[in-house]
Structures are given as C-alpha cells and as structure tokens.
Homo-oligomer: A and B are copies of this chain.
C-alpha cells in the first residue's frame, strides 16, 4: 500500500472512512518509512527493530538488489535475532501473527520458534496458483501445522478477484482479541494481512465497491476491517489500554498499475525503489485517551520504531548487546516532541540514500535495469526525472544528489552542487553517513541462496491432509534477483 492510498493522505476518491476516522481520533504520521522498499526485509526489520542489512534480510549477490523470501529461499530469520514477541512474552504478553510471515518458511524459521504463541496465515506471498509439481501452492498454517493451501483450500479467483482471505483474517483477529480480553491477558497482535499485494483480491461484498477498481476494493475491505477491529476494542472496553498502529511494508507497486496498483501520492516511483514512493508509508497511531485526537506528526519514523515503541509501552528496554535502529516514538506520538534522527534507504546491502531533516541525499540512484525496463517492467510509469530515475546503478557518493523534500517532495529538482545550501547540508549529512558506515556490522546475508528442494512441498500437517508433495533433489543456487 502506498502513502497516497488513504483518503486522509489525499487519495482522490477518498474511500477510506474508517482509517480516516482512525486518523481523526488519533495521529497521522506524515514522514513514516518502511525499512526497505520490499516486503520481507521490511517485515524482518519491523520485528527486530534493526535494518535488514543487520538482521540478515538482504543479499550480497549484487549490490542494491531487491531480495525477498520466495518459497525457494534457503535463508530466514536467525535464532540470534531477538524478535519483538520474544521480549513481550517475558512481560506476560500473548503474541499472535495473523497473515503473511515472510521471514523464511523452513522449520527453523517458523514464527512460533521466534516468540509468537499463535499463527494463522501463510509463510510466503499468495502468488499462484501453482501446479504442485514445479512449484507447490503456498500453505496456510494454524500454529504449527498447515491446514490447507492457497487456491486449493483457500480460494482466490484470479478472474473475478474474489477471495475471502481478508474476512477470514479479520474474524481471526476479532476472536483473538475477544479471547484475550475474556482471559484478561495482555496481547500483541501482528495483523499482517496479504492484501493489497498482487494478485489483488477482495471478498464478494467489496468487489466493485470502489471507484478505483479491484485494488480500491481491497483497500476498502482493509479499511472496513480496521474499523471493525477498532470498534471491537471499544466495545470490549479496552481501547484506552490498546495501542494500535496502521502502516504498510513498502510503497505501492506501480508495476501492477493501473489494474492492481495503488498510489504513492505526489511521491516519485514506487515499490522496489528508494525514492519516496517506494518507502514513505501511510501511518496512523491510535490510542484513545493517550494520543491527542486529530494530531499530525512530522517525526521521521520507521517501521523499526514499532519494535522499540512497543517495548517502551510495556516498560522494557531494547536489547543492549546489538545495534537497534528503531527509536521510541512515544514522546513524538503522545507528547508531540520531535526527535532528530536520520532515515536510511537501503536496497539490499547498499545504502542508496539518507534523509536528515527535510533533506534527502542519494548516494546511489537506480530504478531498474534497461534490460528489465525494455521488457515493460517499469517502477516509475509516466515518470522520468533525468539523472534521478536511472536505469543503471549510478553512484553519486562523491557528490550525492540532494533534494529538499518540503519544497520538492517529488524528488525532481536536485540542489545545485555549488550552492551554499548544498555545501552546508552535505557536511551535516556526510557526518551522519560516516558514523553509520563506520559502526555498521552487517548480518549474515540470508537471501543469497535459493533451492527448489526447500519449497513448501511437505509442511508439517501435510500427512493428515494428504497434501504432502515430493521435493526435487537439492540443488542450491545463487538466487536470481532481476531488479
């Protein structure tokens, strides 16, 4: 989902009344970022509070590549990483993930091995349908065992776009919240639904309900679902004791537009790029009685901050034996303070850009390769900023391209290298970057090796269902990331 997909963020059809109301009852964060322009790394960063390059969710196959976790990935989240639910568990929280895990699907990477108490959802994206010979359909788990597969047992009709998945995930969330309230147990719910990822779907009730086509239908269903979750919290009388945060893991995928793609508002390009369109996210914090209603924050925030902020909410400190990139946002959200901190934009192991205050410096630019672009794969359709949306990986480390995101949110007008403004700002940014690079200890890259043998052939529980498939012989290879 992109920054521009909600009415509160200027989507011209303004079809998200529930999320807009959530914002008017809570706080809109205008400058909130994913930790990566891609799903898996961003989600790993959210749960570890650490940049993907630290927690291992990156590749060294080639710099700047958009690696994630398809089902033939060998790597995943390491035991050495400390996930948010592991820490919350110590404070008595019950932790549940509903939806897409995406931190590796092999047994050792299972969410219940990394702090979660319950899981209902899938390890990978709902791509497919697959033939179960070359590629198996993605399984859906309930806790330790699969209970079926997408397309086979959990229908997604690619023609009509109909699927009940968001409704199933919604009901699961409402039930979990009810159960926790009934047992008076604190909880952490990570509601990580698949929508609005392509192939885009919505349930029958929402199909055709949007001016925006199927993508808009999916947005409406999410909007409606969030509204129902918030109302449920209020009905149960626990809204003033529950911190809710809505955001996305990367910008709208413009390659799927217009039929299945969203909007990044006035920002440049989309998912898979380190321009604002790829990483600036819609973000709303909601906590009645604590967060001032109708607030707006310009605090530079990141999904990684949700790690540290959540710990702060329960009175825990983040781990001190490692670099944590997330900061505690409560002073910004509850008291309206502004905390000075940079935002780093990575693609794989390459620091592409950095934001300090309103300035953003690009050390590398890249949309995608000429080769891919010539096949019609376009991360910036209809947009072409000369020397910025480059189709080769261009290094600018000596003279980074500098933009002022207040005057130029669309990253169209690099500041003149000769200007005093450029000189002064770059001195400040260079110091930030130097410190960042000097203290960087990269994790062991998890997204380098792929092997068809590790795919979801026979997840636990397949025997009971008669859904075990025979894997091919192991043949580990360097993953191929075309972008």
Report whether A10 and B10 are in contact in the complex, using a CB–CB cutoff of 8 Å. Answer: yes
Q: Does A28 contact B (CB under 8 A)?
A: yes
- Shortest CB-to-CB span from A260 to chain B, Å, is 10
Report whether A258 and B412 are in contact in the complex, using a CB–CB cutoff of 8 Å. Answer: yes
Mark the stretch among A44-52, A70-78, A380-388 that contacts chain B: A380-388
Q: Does A339 contact B (CB under 8 A)?
A: no
Within 8 A of B (CB), among A395-436: 404-410, 412-413
Q: Does A14 contact B (CB under 8 A)?
A: yes
Expressed in whole angstroms, the Cα–Cα distance for A408 and B260 within the complex equals 11
Residue among B4, B406, B413 making CB contact with A210, cutoff 8 Å: B406
Residue among B7, B259, B266, B298 making CB contact with A263, cutoff 8 Å: B266
Mark the stretch among A59-67, A81-89, A167-175, A211-219 that contacts chain B: A211-219
Expressed in whole angstroms, the Cα–Cα distance for A381 and B14 within the complex equals 26
Report whether A211 and B10 are in contact in the complex, using a CB–CB cutoff of 8 Å. Answer: no
- Shortest CB-to-CB span from A222 to chain B, Å, is 17
Q: For residue A408, which residue of chain B has the nearest CB?
A: B258
Report whether A407 and B10 are in contact in the complex, using a CB–CB cutoff of 8 Å. Answer: no
Q: Does A11 contact B (CB under 8 A)?
A: yes
Q: For residue A6, which residue of chain B has the nearest CB?
A: B10
Report whether A258 and B30 are in contact in the complex, using a CB–CB cutoff of 8 Å. Answer: no
Expressed in whole angstroms, the Cα–Cα distance for A31 and B405 within the complex equals 27
Most buried by B among A13, A259, A263: A13
Q: Does A9 contact B (CB under 8 A)?
A: yes
- Shortest CB-to-CB span from A278 to chain B, Å, is 15
Report whether B30 and A412 are in contact in the complex, using a CB–CB cutoff of 8 Å. Answer: no
Report whether A412 and B257 are in contact in the complex, using a CB–CB cutoff of 8 Å. Answer: yes
Q: Does A472 contact B (CB under 8 A)?
A: no
Q: Does A99 contact B (CB under 8 A)?
A: no
The digit string for A200-217, where 1 denotes a CB below 8 A from any CB of B, is: 000000000011110110
Expressed in whole angstroms, the Cα–Cα distance for A12 and B296 within the complex equals 11
Residue among B3, B10, B24, B406 making CB contact with A216, cutoff 8 Å: B406
Report whether B12 and A265 are in contact in the complex, using a CB–CB cutoff of 8 Å. Answer: yes
The verdict on A12 contacting B407 (CB below 8 Å), with A382-B383, A382-B412 known, is no
Report whether B14 and A296 are in contact in the complex, using a CB–CB cutoff of 8 Å. Answer: yes
Q: Does A358 contact B (CB under 8 A)?
A: yes
Q: For residue A388, which residue of chain B has the nearest CB?
A: B382
Which of the four size classes fits the interface of chain A? Answer: 35 or more
Expressed in whole angstroms, the Cα–Cα distance for A31 and B404 within the complex equals 30
Report whether A211 and B358 are in contact in the complex, using a CB–CB cutoff of 8 Å. Answer: yes
- Shortest CB-to-CB span from A460 to chain B, Å, is 41
B residues less than 8 Å from A12 (CB atoms): 3, 30-31, 265-267, 280, 405, 409
B residues less than 8 Å from A263 (CB atoms): 266, 409
B residues less than 8 Å from A280 (CB atoms): 12
The verdict on A407 contacting B9 (CB below 8 Å), with A14-B296, A265-B265, A382-B412 known, is no
Residue among B13, B257, B258, B406 making CB contact with A213, cutoff 8 Å: B406
Report whether B381 and A382 are in contact in the complex, using a CB–CB cutoff of 8 Å. Answer: no
Most buried by B among A381, A405, A406: A406
- Shortest CB-to-CB span from A247 to chain B, Å, is 16
- Shortest CB-to-CB span from A441 to chain B, Å, is 34
Q: For residue A4, which residue of chain B has the nearest CB?
A: B266
- Shortest CB-to-CB span from A207 to chain B, Å, is 14
Residue among B13, B268, B358, B410 making CB contact with A406, cutoff 8 Å: B13
Report whether B259 and A407 are in contact in the complex, using a CB–CB cutoff of 8 Å. Answer: yes
Q: For residue A385, which residue of chain B has the nearest CB?
A: B382
B residues less than 8 Å from A382 (CB atoms): 268, 383-385, 410, 412
Report whether B212 and A406 are in contact in the complex, using a CB–CB cutoff of 8 Å. Answer: yes
Q: For residue A10, which residue of chain B has the nearest CB?
A: B10
Within 8 A of B (CB), among A254-312: 257-259, 263, 265-268, 280, 296, 298
Report whether A257 and B413 are in contact in the complex, using a CB–CB cutoff of 8 Å. Answer: yes
Closest 8 CB pairs of A and B: A10-B10, A211-B406, A213-B407, A382-B412, A258-B408, A258-B413, A382-B385, A258-B407
Chain A interfacial positions (CB closer than 8 Å to B): 3-4, 7, 9-14, 24, 28, 30-31, 210-213, 215-216, 257-259, 263, 265-268, 280, 296, 298, 358, 381-385, 404-410, 412-413
26 contacts between A and B (CB under 8 A): A3-B12, A4-B10, A4-B266, A9-B10, A10-B10, A10-B11, A10-B266, A12-B266, A12-B280, A12-B409, A13-B409, A14-B30, A211-B298, A211-B358, A211-B406, A212-B407, A213-B406, A216-B406, A258-B404, A263-B409, A265-B265, A265-B266, A381-B412, A382-B384, A382-B385, A383-B383
